[in-house]
Chains A and B, each alone.
Chain A
Amino acid sequence: MGSGPREDFKNPVVNWIDERLPVFTLMQKEYGVFPTPKNFNYFWNFGAIAMVVLVTMIVTGIFLAMNYTAHEDMAFDSVERIMRDVNYGWLLRYIHMNGASMFFIAIYIHIYRGMYYGSYKKPRELLWILGVLILVLLMATAFMGYTLPWSQMSGWGATVITSLFSAIPLVGDSLLTWLWGGFSVDNPTLNRFYALHYLLPFVICAVVFLHIWALHVTGSNNPLGIEPKGPQDTLPFHPYYTMKDSFGICVFLVFFAFMVFFAPNYLNHADHYVPFDPLVTPQHIVPEWYFLPFYAILRAVTFDIGIPLTKIVFIEAKLGGVLAMFGSIALLGFMPWLDTSKVRSAKFRPMYKLALFGLVAAFVALGIAGAKPAEGLWLYVSQVSMAYYFAFFVVILPMLGKIEKTKPLPGSIHEAVTAKAK
């Protein structure tokens, strides 16, 4: 890591350190001169944006933790005290609360970018899988964070989601008791969720580090999906992309700040301001918006899976829903192998492009259906969308590689960029 031949730095202090621990050489190599395709569009900003949000969450989270009390009788009050009496506590809390949503917006766009331009394909499979792992960790972190204020939505959301584990055959109920630390969502549950909520963001940091390490081995993909062939195709990361990312980050922060200062509770639910009462079930238990598509998949499986026309059931509806929900995320990790096409970018794959827009539409439809009661038309919408979601991965992706007629690829990035400029 940064060892081997190195050039001297002019600044004697920097040079002294670098001779002993070549952090400056490393930064110079990985972020200074690092050759980066010169044709990125603004979709390539969202990795840096997600990074900024991660740091923001950790900083605000640590300051919140200094004033938060993880106890069933005090958690809600301590959050309200942060909102009212801690200096700028309302700011910390609103940044942290909305920051979770910003994180998911950035990550979902980042993932879409990867899918559209084929960034998951060889040789970037491991990089992609690490990304899916970050998504899973982020979901776990956000879910546990949401229980900490110990509101009606916190407690009941946690109850609904943890209860899913009871669908696992044989060990489900024992597993659930173990998870809760008791027989319902209670003080021990709150304490362990808090411990894990503090831990997981740092695990995310570690996986992000691996994610970027892997990126710097293969190099970035780009909108054309063809590898750079030489120096004429790339630019040094600094100043070209440091400045472009800074601009993108600023624009994103304008949106983030607008939500924090002018619509801090827009994405929130009124029941999140009612203290948790295990004896009173809210009328609607709705997860945060970023979980709605997966929540819709969970509830879309209303049928047992078995041999038709007989009474033989292999998978009961409840377990089916749980498997479908976790499966829908896990499938992402298999994309590099499900996609059989040689061409990366959707720019040159007319059919894949359409299929992917269909996937986005299905995802949005699932999200809308997820906020509605699972009955009537909305249940139907989520079932159809779920069917498409799974078909996209297990049928359409493998098939397209065989039947799709792709458009001719340009000779090089440089050639395409100069042709466009004319």
Chain B
Amino acid sequence: MKKQILTLAVVAVAGFGAFVAPVNAAGTAVELPKRDWSFDGALGTYDRNQLQRGFQVYKEVCAACHGLDRVFYRNLTALGYNEEQIKTIASEYSVVDGPDDEGEMFDRPARPSDRFVGPYPNIQAARSVNNGAYPPDLSLIAKSRAGGADYIAALLTGYEQAPADVEVMAGMHWNKYFNGHQIAMAAPLTDGQVSYADETPTTVDQMAQDVAAFLTWAAEPHMEVRKRMGVKVLIFLSIFAFIMYRVKRKIWRDVH
């Protein structure tokens, strides 16, 4: 019986891993470099300073082409901004509101309760200014690409000279990590493109790392609460399981 359960457990774990590994690996042709993230592991958390830097990169670079529609300005409190700062950030954008008492639509500055204002009114407009390509909304990008943050950082730093035998199509760029290698997004980052408030160097690699962390937060804003609760739940359940084990042993003592 013990042997059987053990074999079964081994088979199950191996099978489970084997089932799943290919499922998650599907879609990425090139092995992604594994980076270190503050949010790795069971106890990892977001690094507030990094999130703020990543937000700055998003705001000053990526937001020209990519929306972040599922995130609200009010959510930025999680990055360590206070309400005044968030009001100021939001007010830089304008949203269409209305109709007013005369039935007219009007523009007003965005408020913390508004969603991030996107660069385009609709998909058609987005395509027409991007050679027919559509820059996807980035709210969920970290969860909708295998590899998550590693993939985003790799993509942003993966622009290279195309191999001699490959002809890159007009308006396309060669990227080592993009599926099929030909991507409609030109390398968006160059060294020194933004100026960070802290001393962090603004290399392409650093900015890529920061914005990837920010986008991971945007896709999974409750990760820290989840892990913290998880630790408590696991401790509680383990103790409870141990108690039940003792109870069971005690009750069964006279049977064995």
Q: Which of B22, B145, B146, B248 contacts A244 (CB 8 A)?
A: B248
Q: Which of B87-95, B154-162, B221-229 contacts A (4 or more CB under 8 A)?
A: B221-229
* Per-residue B-contact encoding for A381-422, CB less than 8 Å = 1, 0 else: 000000000000000000000000000000000000000010
**Nearest CB of chain A from residue B174's CB, rounded to whole Å:** 20
Contact A80 B18, beta carbon cutoff 8 Å: no
- Residue numbers in A under 8 Å from B226 (CB-CB): 90-91, 94, 261, 264
Interface mask (A256-280 → B, CB under 8 Å = 1, otherwise 0): 0110111011110111011000000
Q: Are A286 and B26 in contact (CB under 8 A)?
A: yes
Partner-contacting stretch, out of B98-106, B204-212, B238-246: B238-246
Q: Is the CB of A261 within 8 A of B20?
A: no
- Whether the Cβ atoms of B27 and A84 lie closer than 8 Å is no
Interchain CA distance A102-B20 in the complex, whole Å: 15
From known contacts A41-B1, A273-B140, A284-B26, infer whether A360 and B227 are also in contact, taking CB-CB under 8 Å. no
* One of A55-63, A187-195, A316-324, A363-371 contacting the partner: A363-371
Question: Shortest beta-carbon distance, B89 to chain A, in Å?
Answer: 19
Is the CB of B169 closer than 8 A to any CB of chain A? no
Expressed in whole angstroms, the minimum distance between the Cβ of B212 and any Cβ of chain A is 15
Q: Quick one: closest A residue to B256, CB to CB?
A: A421
Decide if A270 touches B15 in the complex (CB within 8 Å). no
Q: Could you say which of A43, A109, A247, A270 has the most chain B C-beta atoms within 10 Å of its C-beta? A: A270
Residue among B1, B27, B230, B247 making CB contact with A261, cutoff 8 Å: B230
Contacting B240 at CB < 8 Å: which of A41, A250, A286, A370?
A250
Contact partners of B48 in chain A: CB under 8 A = none
B222 — which chain A residues lie within 8 A by C-beta?
Answer: 83-84, 90
Q: Which of A9-17, A26-34, A120-128, A235-243 contacts B (4 or more CB under 8 A)?
A: A235-243
Find residues 214-256 in chain A having any chain B CB closer than 8 Å to their own CB. 223, 235, 239-240, 243-244, 246-247, 250-251, 253-254
B230 touches A262 (CB 8 A): yes
Name which residue of chain A comes closest to B142, CB basis: A273
B245–A247 touching, CB < 8 Å = yes
Contact yes or no, A254 B237, CB < 8 A: yes
Which B residues are in CB contact (< 8 Å) with A38?
Answer: 255
Q: Determine which of A41, A250, A286 lies in contact with B23 in the assembled complex, contact meaning CB atoms within 8 Å.
A: A286
- On whether A254 and B238 interact (CB within 8 A), knowing A42-B5, A261-B233, A368-B15, the answer reads yes
Interface string of B143-185 (1 = CB under 8 A from A): 1111000000000000000000000000000000001000000
Contact of A289 among B19, B231, B245, B255 (CB under 8 A): B19
Chain A 65-83: CB-based contact to B (< 8 A → 1; otherwise 0): 0000000000000001001
- By size class, the interface of chain A is 35 or more
Q: What residues on A are CB-neighbors of B127 within 8 Å?
A: none
Interface contacts (Cβ under 8 Å), in number, total 119
Is B96's CB within 8 Å of the partner chain A?
A: no
Give how many B residues have a beta carbon under 8 Å from the other chain's beta carbons.
46
Across the interface, do B11 and A364 meet the contact criterion of CB distance under 8 Å? Answer: yes
Interchain CB contact under 8 A, B248 and A258:
no
Residue from B42, B221, B233, B244 within 8 A of A84 (CB atoms): B221
- Given that A254-B237, A270-B145 are contacting pairs, would A80 and B140 also be in contact in the complex, using a CB cutoff of 8 Å? yes
**Is the C-beta of B70 less than 8 angstroms from some C-beta in chain A?**
yes
Point out the residues of chain A lying under 8 angstroms from B237, CB to CB: 250, 253-254, 257
Q: Give residues 188-221 of B contacting A (CB, 8 Å).
A: 219, 221
Q: Is A283 an interface residue (CB 8 A)?
A: yes
A261 near B19: Cβ-Cβ < 8 Å: no
Among B146, B219, B237, max chain A CB count under 10 A is at B237
Q: Which of A243, A244, A258 contacts B234 (CB 8 A)?
A: A258
- Docked Cα-Cα span, A83 to B144, in Å, equals 15
What residue of chain A has the Cβ atom nearest to residue B69's Cβ?
A: A77
A-B contact pairs, 28 of them (CB 8 A): A84-B221, A84-B222, A235-B255, A239-B251, A240-B251, A240-B255, A246-B248, A254-B238, A261-B227, A261-B231, A262-B227, A269-B24, A270-B24, A270-B143, A270-B145, A270-B146, A271-B144, A273-B219, A286-B23, A286-B26, A289-B19, A289-B23, A364-B14, A368-B15, A371-B19, A371-B20, A371-B23, A421-B256
